[in-house]
Chain A
Amino acid sequence: MNRDADIESEVRFSPGVLYRNLGDGGILVDTKNGNYFALNRTGAVFLEALTRSGKATSALEDVRQLYPVEDGVLEKDMLDLLADLIDARLLETVKGQR
């Protein structure tokens, strides 16, 4: 688990990472090494909100409006996803802006 990922994280795509929403979810590919990461619909909504705003807090709020589940559950799932994407070097935290 990436310890840098928390609710206050500001992130962006790592260089060379491409993303596409395919309707039934999304897929990220790292063109530097060919690694893929598939996202379900909820994950795709979160990632798109995250990369629009750059902020985990506002992305979480966007997802919460679409998927009304318990706050703690949603937050844990999304932060786990965020940590996985950072661990996979598909997203990077923006330094010095926190």
Chain B
Amino acid sequence: MSRGDADAFWFPPGTVFLREKFNRGQETQSKLVLKSFEQIGGLEFDLSCWRTPDGYLLSSIGGASILVSDGGLRITCSGDTEPDAATTMLLWGPVAILALALQGAFCLHASAVALNGKAWVFAGDSGRGKSTLARYLQQERHWKRLADDILPVCASKDGATVLPHFLQLKLPRNEQVGPEVPRRVALAGVLHLESREEGSAEDVTCQRLSRQEALKFLIHQSVATRLMDADLLSEHFIACSNIAMGVPVWSLQFVRQREALPVVASLLESISAENEPIR
């Protein structure tokens, strides 16, 4: 058993990485959660995810098997060689997301920025301007960008926080958040970006979603839920419910033009100044 280099990757404090040969025969005692072709970080995987008595076992045909156990704090790669590129991508992607989920942090497909020490999350389907808006707010308005694609969120009845140190695969190393950013940042609000192709740059609207709409949206924007078994999905549902109950979620509609971004930014600054999270 040896400690691997994987601990150089971003994972929650206390996570232990091991490389050892383990018996894939334990799949026979396990339940298959997912078997599918997946694209992760530009690579293609014939991925299987099993719920085993010890945790979650992810394996790709011709590649490594990785066991996530001990409540997400122990990650074991099969074999005794250095992780190859495909294994590394599995570690950074679905393994990290599962490990966090087992520790109560569920990932949203979102970008995020911080203003006055609180996080504002931009979620929505691909191509809606999440990254563009976060980059604009950082470069032109001096908000701090916290995430560009995947953002772990912890939620309880007492409030929600985001974990901004999660590795952002879409950003170069020098644009990842630095040590000056706290490991947890209070979540102030979530915005569902609904950009449109035509219209006036001045025509920006922001409408508060009902809690039901917010919950449906948060579930829809969650990442890698297909890897989770019924128990973990239940915890995910409770976490999303807690966010919907305690954090305002808005629908933000704007035209996809650079000229609209200052209007969006001003609106967000005004919401940020007025916003008091509902408890």
Contact = CB atoms under 8 A, between A and B. Distances in A.
Contact of B245 (A16, A23, A25, A36): A23
Contacts of A27: 212, 215-216, 241
A18 B216 contact: no
Contact of A20 (B210, B230, B233, B237): B237
Interface in A22-79: 22-27, 29, 31, 34, 36, 38
A29 B237 contact: yes
Given A22-B211, A22-B244, A36 B216 contact: yes
Given A16-B230, A36-B216, A24 B237 contact: no
Contacts of A20: 215, 237-238, 241
Nearest to A22: B211
A18 B234 contact: yes
**What range describes how many residues of A lie at the interface?**
10 to 19
Interface string B2-36: 00000000000000000000000000000000000
Contacts of A24: 210-212
Contacts of B244: 22
Given A29-B237, A31-B237, A23 B211 contact: yes
A82 to B, nearest CB: 20
Given A27-B215, A27-B216, A36-B216, A22 B241 contact: yes
A15 B238 CA distance: 17
B234 A31 contact: yes
B226 to A, nearest CB: 9
Interface in B201-246: 210-212, 215-216, 219, 230, 233-234, 237-238, 241, 244-245
28 contacts: A15-B230, A16-B230, A18-B237, A20-B238, A20-B241, A22-B212, A22-B215, A22-B241, A22-B244, A23-B211, A23-B245, A24-B211, A25-B210, A25-B211, A25-B212, A26-B212, A27-B212, A27-B215, A27-B216, A27-B241, A29-B219, A29-B237, A31-B233, A31-B234, A31-B237, A34-B219, A38-B212, A38-B216
5 nearest interchain CB pairs?
A: A22-B211, A20-B241, A31-B233, A38-B212, A18-B237
Given A22-B215, A24-B212, A31-B233, 18 more contacts: A15-B230, A16-B230, A22-B245, A23-B211, A23-B245, A24-B210, A25-B210, A25-B211, A25-B212, A26-B212, A27-B212, A27-B215, A27-B241, A31-B234, A31-B237, A36-B216, A36-B219, A38-B212
